[in-house]
A and B are shown apart, each in its own frame.
Chain A
Amino acid sequence: MKKPIQKGRVLNNIKDHRKAAGHTQVSLADAVGATRQSIIAIEAGKYAPSLELAFRIAREFDVDFEEVFQFEG
């Protein structure tokens, strides 16, 4: 019998990487093709971005994907 999968949570530390990279929320949004509101929502953990946007963000910081995004669950 299959075990029920519990809902997980995508965590991120975009804010730290963003500050380290000298980005504002607006400049990061422009760089990855998102809106400032989406960056705010992602940083606050209110919105889990698509894989494509998540990879774009990690690429913008020039770090591995899992340094920016972690999965808890």
Chain B
Amino acid sequence: MARYEKYSLASLITTVAVFWYFCMKMLDGMSLVSQPTPTLFKIYVTTVILFIITEIINALLFLARPGLVQDERDYMIKSKAERNGNFVIIAAINIVLFIVLAEGTFSNYHGPTHIDLTSPESLLFHLLGVLVLGTIVERVSTLIYYRL
């Protein structure tokens, strides 16, 4: 297994773990918990710091090696995986926007889910969720492309 594969796997696991922590703080079952904004700010900052710390540890463990080379295949895989991640982010943002706007426009609209972006907890959850989803798709794509 290449170092970049190991890094992607570790990063995937830590990303899911940190997002799991975030969901535990934000959700009660499948519904968002209404919380005061200072509490949400604390959750947001803690989550971002956890993401940064875990990524630094992953990079130190798997990428900080003298003489570690990256060649054209590594760059190609990285580029294709980033493209997939960005595509998913764009698609997810558009889905969220569509649901929010359709709910406001059509009184009889009954979508698969309800999204209220006027509440801070909903905004935080959906935006961070979209970013995490993009990261997960990027890491999974990297692992798949290395195995193909």
Contacts and interface: CB of A to CB of B under 8 A. Distances in A.
A41 B74 CA distance: 12
Given A35-B2, A37-B2, A53 B72 contact: yes
Interface residues of B, number: 9
Contact of B148 (A33, A37, A46): A46
Contact of A34 (B73, B146, B148): B73
B74 A35 contact: yes
A10 B55 CA distance: 38
A50 interface: yes
Interface in B104-142: none
B69 interface: yes
B2 A34 contact: no
A38 interface: yes
Contacts of B70: 35
B141 to A, nearest CB: 16
B62 to A, nearest CB: 14
Nearest to B148: A46
Interface string B65-89: 0000111111000000000000000
Contacts of A53: 71-72
B5 to A, nearest CB: 8
Interface in B9-68: none
B40 to A, nearest CB: 43
A47 B44 CA distance: 42
B71 A33 contact: yes
Nearest to A53: B72
Q: Which 10 A-B pairs have the closest CB atoms?
A: A38-B73, A34-B71, A37-B2, A35-B71, A38-B71, A50-B72, A47-B73, A35-B69, A53-B72, A41-B73
Given A37-B73, A38-B71, A38-B74, 6 more contacts: A33-B71, A35-B70, A35-B73, A35-B74, A38-B72, A41-B73
